[in-house]
Amino acid sequence: MASFLNSSIGKKFLMSLSGLFLITFLLVHLVVNSMILFDPSGALFNNVAHFMGTNPIIRVVEPVLAIGFILHILYACILTLKNQWVRPVGYDKQHSGNSSTWASRNMFVLGALILIFLVIHISNFFWKIKFTGSELLDNGGVNGVENVYLLVTTLFINWWWIDIVYVIGTVVLGLHLTHAFWSAFQTLGLSDNRWRKRLVIAGWVYTILVAGGFALIPLWVKISSMIN
């Protein structure tokens, strides 16, 4: 087992497993965040966010999510450095016109940009909710439910450049996902020639839904505040 996980195939296997876990997390995260769009009073989003934050199952999944992220990033670095070492000229650059896509050739750079986005994102919300607190969270919270809606919407309304960072972040995430989705299934041995086409299409549908959905939220919040 240890020798499998130390091999390149084993590392790719773990990257794919952690990647599929992150893909599932993103869908759940989007469903929760989309509540911002449906109730301008914020009560719906606050209650769902509170349920997610206090639910014992989610509390167990949170550290697993963190470990998933760390493994995914660590193995991406190890595999990329190893590939550079073996092929310093860059196989993909030599074959850049062939069947590989731009996204597939730039997965490491796209991943690094997503990491930068995540650091900004975690400091915007998660860090304040879990560690530092914010007067916005206490403003209008009912029965111990924090006003996360006010924290999120105040940021998106007051700082237009943050909206742009979120839109760019989700476009980069989308590019990463177009390749990651089917590639993860392929690495886990769950794809053949017939299934690959279907998985590529499913990957595009998932990407447009997830990246489009996340990009819509800051734009929606900002534009509605300008209209009302």
* Site track for ligand HEM across 131-160, x = CB under 6 A: -----------------x---x--------
Out of 10, 17, 29, 159, name the contact with ligand HEM by CB under 6 A: 29
Token code pair at residue 197: 């086409």
181 binds ligand HEM (CB under 6 A): no
Neighbours of 155 (CB within 10 A): 18
State the Cα–Cα distance between residues 165 and 175, nearest whole angstrom: 15
Alpha helices per DSSP H over the chain? 2-6, 8-33, 35-38, 43-54, 56-86, 91-94, 102-105, 107-124, 126-127, 135-138, 148-158, 160-187, 193-227
Q: Does 206 bind ligand HEM (CB under 6 A)?
A: no
The CB-nearest residue to ligand HEM is: 217
Smallest gap from Cβ 49 to ligand HEM, in A, equals 5
Q: Which two tokens stand for residue 88?
A: 């310093």
Contact pattern from residue 48 through residue 67 relative to ligand HEM, giving x for each residue in contact according to CB under 6 A and a dash for the rest: -x---x-----------x--
- Residue at 98: amino acid letter: N
Question: Considering only CA atoms, which of 76, 67, 88 is closest in space to residue 183?
Answer: 76
207 binds ligand HEM (CB under 6 A): no
List the interface residues with ligand HEM, window 96-115 (CB under 6 A).
114
With contacts defined by CB under 6 A, name the span among 78-86, 101-109, 118-126, 191-199 that binds ligand HEM: 118-126
**Contact by Cβ (8 Å): 141, 46:** yes
Specify whether the CB–CB gap between 137 and 146 falls below 8 A. yes
CB of 95 to ligand HEM, least distance (A): 29
Exactly one of 173, 175, 177, 180 binds ligand HEM (CB under 6 A); that residue is 173
**φ and ψ of 191, to 5 deg:** -140, 145
Residues 65-84: x where in contact with ligand HEM by CB under 6 A, - otherwise, as a string: x-------------------
Residues that bind ligand HEM (CB under 6 A): 26, 29, 33, 49, 53, 65, 114, 118, 121, 125-126, 129, 148, 152, 166, 170, 173, 214, 217-218
